[in-house]
Amino acid sequence: MAKVLSIWKGELEKPVRMGDILREVAEKHGVTVELLRSASRRRAEVSHPRQEFMAQAFDAGFGYSRIAHYLGFDPTTVRYGVAAFRKRNQSDA
């Protein structure tokens, strides 16, 4: 997380926004934010980057329900996406 200097309280953590995470993931994978937020299931182009976003948002402290609401999916889908991303990356390492 980025640090912000405050005159009154010293260094503060800059809050992370889901939109910022989504933009970073979209840029990394060369897809649009709109495509990641869509219901498209094109695996190579959309599903894996979307699951990466879900995992990063969850790691940043957002809950399954909040991420699901942001994307327009069910929280169970988000839970599966986080687990699938972690399993895929564990086997890649």
- Rounded-to-10 torsion of CA 52, 54, 57, 62: -160
d(CA 88, CA 34): 24
Domain spans of the chain? 17-92
CATH number belonging to domain 17-92: 1.10.1750.10
d(CA 32, CA 29): 9
Q: Could you give the 3-state DSSP secondary structure of residue 42? A: coil
Residues 17-38, mean pLDDT to the nearest whole number: 95
> pLDDT over 70 for what percent of the chain?
82
Predicted TM-score (pTM) of the model is: 0.81
> At 14, is the pLDDT very low, low, confident or very high (cuts 50, 70, 90)?
confident
- What six digits make up the tokens of 18? 């889901």
